[in-house]
Amino acid sequence: MNFSLSSKAITATKADCLVIGLPEKGEWPETTKATDEALGGLIKQLEKAGDLNGKNALVNTIPLVDQPWQRLVVVGVGKDADRTPANFRKALAAMMNTLKDGPSKSVLVSLADTHLQGEDAISSEEARLNLIGRTLEEQLYTFTDFKSEKPTARKLKKVVVQASGSGKALKDALNLGLATGRGMNFTRDLGNTPPNVCHPIWLAEHAQAIAKEYDCIKTEVLDEKQMEKLGMNTILAVGKGSKQPPRLIVMEYRGGKTKDKPYVLVGKGITFDTGGISLKPGEGMDEMKYDMGGSASVFGTMKVLAETKPKINVVAVIAAAENMPDGGATRPGDIIKTLSGQTVEILNTDAEGRLVLCDALTYVKKFDPETVIDLATLTGACIIALGHHASALFSNDDALANDIRQAGERSGDRVWPLPLWDDYQSQLDSNFADMQNIGGRPAGSVTAACFLSRFAKDYRWAHLDIAGTAWNSGKAKGSTGRPVPLLVDYLMSHAG
């Protein structure tokens, strides 16, 4: 697909299709007014007659004759007060759904002058171009690697995005959005790949391939022997029940000054979660291939950094293992000494995410991090608490939590806080070890985060439980690419 930015008057740009926004009430965007004028008041007339309305994400196509465009697509953008980034993206997604399979080959999208509700950082033209770029790429995503019949070429070939100028800031904003969309799509590819292909070594090979493709990224992979030497026994304990050995994958992006402390991302990379000896029920178990969704979002984010080269240092650490129940598997009751020295009684082998993460959280101390954010499809309880709209946010630092919340609002990839209070910690008391790996049924997401917090005391840390947001079940089954937009926004807001 060819994407570009234009600041010529829309009437001077020929295209098979022009896309404009129609608010439900309130003032029209400039280009909507200009289009109406060029068409002799057609839009006003159709709205009056009830043939058009501005309900958010409602899309209407109007054939035109003797105009620079063969057709006009009118996208409802809702009421001014409701136009959050998330709702604007719904409208953009609906537009792409209409456009992606033709008949137009070239499209002029004039939606960047649709004002968003919220403060400057959310409502600026840059912010809108970013959202437009991201949604364009996101909506063109397909995953057909494992289908025999290959898809036919798309009819839509060229998208021109209308902007008020052609300066660097506007171009950069569109490009960042496009890169974010591609980063999400890479994340989705990894998440959708079947678990007989996507195993820890396959993930490690992807990290090595990224380092080869981009000079600014360095990769190091620790195998089970190296992890044994270091004492990363909980990752090893999770991997022991599988023929596929675990890996610790490190990717470093150095775009900042040498002395700038790195922002560290830690991803849960369970390439398949059977539950281990505490075997999961069979129904829907196929979906546990996305238990590497945290690591997939880290991969996608690193790719966005490599493509847009912000001035920041970022280190990614992925704890990759397969949780299987064969003869070498860890048993309920086993006690393991973690890399931190603390001992853990494993009472349920299905609570494996926190086990691979705790050693990774101890390991990252060596990078002297500015902040550490871990991403994990950690608990089913998180889906019960927040459903599929918000990722759960836990943090030992209020300023960091605030930063992440704001990044979530700006990107429309939202999070909601849950408590990390000491009151919950005693649910992890063990009779035989320093702690047990489960905290019982009450507040399962909180006790999982409490477990992690014991390994993240030495730096500013946040944990995002993305069990509900990284994956769609049902008809649209597949990886969502979240929380790549959130992570990219957070990191960009800290880049020099």
In the complex, which residues of this chain contact Mn ion (CB under 5 A)? Answer: 273, 350, 352
**Residue 291 is a binding residue for Zn ion (CB under 5 A):** yes
Q: Is 267 in the site for ligand BES (CB under 6 A)?
A: no
Minimum CB separation of residue 374 from Mn ion in Å reads 16
- Residue 287 beta carbon to Zn ion: minimum distance, rounded to whole angstroms: 11
Q: Give which of ligand BES, Zn ion, Mn ion, none residue 174 binds (C-beta under 5 to 8 Å, depending on kind).
A: none
| Interface residue with Zn ion, options 273, 403, 413, 489 (CB under 5 A) | 273
Q: Which does 317 bind (CB under 5 to 8 A by kind): Zn ion, Mn ion, ligand BES, none?
A: none
36 or 291: whose CB is closer to ligand BES? 291
How many whole angstroms separate alpha carbon 164 and alpha carbon 6?
Answer: 8
Catalytic residue among 100, 134, 240, 354: 354
Interface with Zn ion (CB under 5 A), residue total: 4
Q: What token pair was written down for 126?
A: 């840059």
Nearest to 382 by CA among 404, 346, 344, 353: 353
Report the site for ligand BES in 460-479 (rule: CB under 6 A).
467
Q: Does 16 bind ligand BES (CB under 6 A)?
A: no
Catalytic annotation, pick one of 158, 171, 280, 365:
280
Write each residue from 307 to 346 as x if it is in contact with ligand BES (CB under 6 A), else as -, in one continuous string: ----------------------------------------
- How many other CB atoms are found less than 10 A from the CB of residue 474? 5
Which of Mn ion, ligand BES, Zn ion, none does 184 bind, CB closer than 5 to 8 A by kind? none
Measured from the CB atom, the residue of 193 and 274 that comes closer to ligand BES is 274
Give 23 or 468: the residue with its C-beta nearer to ligand BES. 468
Amino acid at 234: T
Closest separation in Å from C-beta 433 to ligand BES: 16
Site for ligand BES in 143-172 (CB under 6 A): none
Among 444, 481, 483, 485, binds ligand BES (CB under 6 A): 444
- Name the binder of 444 from Zn ion, Mn ion, ligand BES, none, CB < 5-8 A by kind: ligand BES
**Binds 379, which of ligand BES, Mn ion, Zn ion, none (CB < 5 to 8 A, cut-off by type)?**
ligand BES
Annotation says 280 is catalytic: yes
Binding flag, residue 353, ligand BES (CB under 6 A): yes
In the bound state with Mn ion, the residue whose beta carbon lies nearer, of 69 and 290, is 290
Rounded to the nearest angstrom, the gap between the alpha carbon of residue 146 and the centroid of all alpha carbons in its chain is 23
d(CA 290, CA 307): 25
Residue 269 contacts Zn ion per CB under 5 A? no
- Give the one residue of 344, 381, 420, 428 binding ligand BES; rule: CB under 6 A: 381
Show which residues are catalytic.
280, 354
Q: Which residues bind ligand BES (CB under 6 A)?
A: 273, 291, 348, 350-353, 377-381, 438, 444, 467
Q: Which residues bind Zn ion (CB under 5 A)?
A: 270, 273, 291, 353
